[in-house]
Amino acid sequence: MTGLELAVGWTADLVAGDPRRFHPVAGFGQVAAAVERRVWRDSRAAGVAFVTMLVGLPALTAWVLDRRLAGARAGSLLRAAVLWAAVGGRSLAREANGIASALEDGDVVEARRRLPALVGRDPAGLDIAEVSRAVVESVAENSGDAVVAPLLWGAVAGPAGVVAYRCANTLDAMVGHHSDRYERFGWAAARLDDAMNWVPARAGAGLAAAVAPAVGGDAGTVVATVRRDGANHPSPNAGRLEAAFAGALSVQLGGTNCYGDRVERRGPLGDGPAPDEGSIRQATRLAGLIGLTSCALAVGVAVGARR
């Protein structure tokens, strides 16, 4: 992708957000769920085949279309549109700020009702601090998943890279869990997503350090927190971003999360008090700045690659 195509795709998300209807990622998820029902087996081999098919075929289709439209204006529009569909910064901020507004109004019930749009944990019984922690952690992780990663994959691998990344990330969200059903079948999806997010997550943490002063944080604290606490998380990537946000916002993340019958205990990320609704507002501002700087970084990578 060219720098201009990357900038247009990112700006389209900033201005318009995700398509409200017929979102291609949602459509892909429906197809993936239907395929899973047919091919699921309690084995890694079945999971590898599932991921290979559902990542490889869409990426190959994007590559073929991109090649056929090379040099045409329609090709540039296609590349920008692919990135727009893959980036989700505006929707992330909208959902997070909606929960912050509910908490500011003292309506914890409404905040809990809205929480499943961002996180998979059980919202029942969560207080203000736990709802706020869930939102800040989601904003941190998804700043990498839904903004930094698609921009960088677009810069280095074009629309095929963006499509492959978004498909892998969606499959990880669907089947990459530690559960009886997915422990083996979801292994390939989880490992592929880890690999594709390794660089973007660390780039996002670095950008969080760079822009932390704009939200009242300190770059040195962010770097120190990521180094100390980034591994206190079951994900090798989400932990770096969550630690970066904890350091930038001077709050402590991590703790016990309930996902239905499954309980996950995470180590502490950062020093400071528990987050609150004000922390959510700070987190969305930080995420917006990371989006802006990651777009600039991706444009720079794309320009450099074409020289």
Which tens digit of pLDDT belongs to each residue from 204-232?
999 999 999 999 999 999 999 999 999 99
Alpha-carbon radius of gyration of the chain: 19
- With H, G, I as helix, E, B as strand and everything else as coil, classify residue 216: coil
* pLDDT score at 123: 92
Q: Which two tokens mark 178?
A: 């530690």
pLDDT band at 162; cut points 50, 70, 90? very high
159, 1 Cβ separation under 8 angstroms: yes
Centre a 10 Å sphere on the Cβ of residue 46 and count the other Cβ atoms it contains: 16
CA 183 to mean position of chain CA atoms: 22
pLDDT, mean of residues 162-172? 97
* pLDDT score at 190: 97
Alpha helices in 23-107 (DSSP H): 24-39, 44-68, 73-86, 89-104
* pLDDT score at 132: 97
Indicate the average pLDDT of the chain.
Answer: 95
pLDDT digits (tens, 9 = 90+) for 88-143: 999 999 999 999 999 999 999 999 999 999 998 889 889 999 999 999 999 999 99
- With H, G, I as helix, E, B as strand and everything else as coil, classify residue 193: helix
**pTM, 2 dp:** 0.95
Cα 129 to Cα 43, 108, 219: the distances in Å are 39, 10, 25
Which of 269 and 258 is assigned the larger pLDDT?
A: 269
Q: Which residues of 211-242 are buried (b: 16+ CB within 10 A; e: fewer)?
A: bbeebebebebbbebbeebbebbebebbbbbb
Continuous segment of H or E residues that includes residue 206: helix 187-211
CA–CA separation, 305 and 137 (whole Å): 33
pLDDT, mean of residues 141-163? 97
pLDDT band at 250; cut points 50, 70, 90? very high
pLDDT, mean of residues 232-250? 96
Cα-based torsion angle of the residue sequence 284, 287, 289, 294 in order, rounded to the nearest 10 degrees = -160
In 3D, which of 219, 184, 191, 189 has the Cα closest to residue 293?
Answer: 219
* pLDDT score at 159: 97
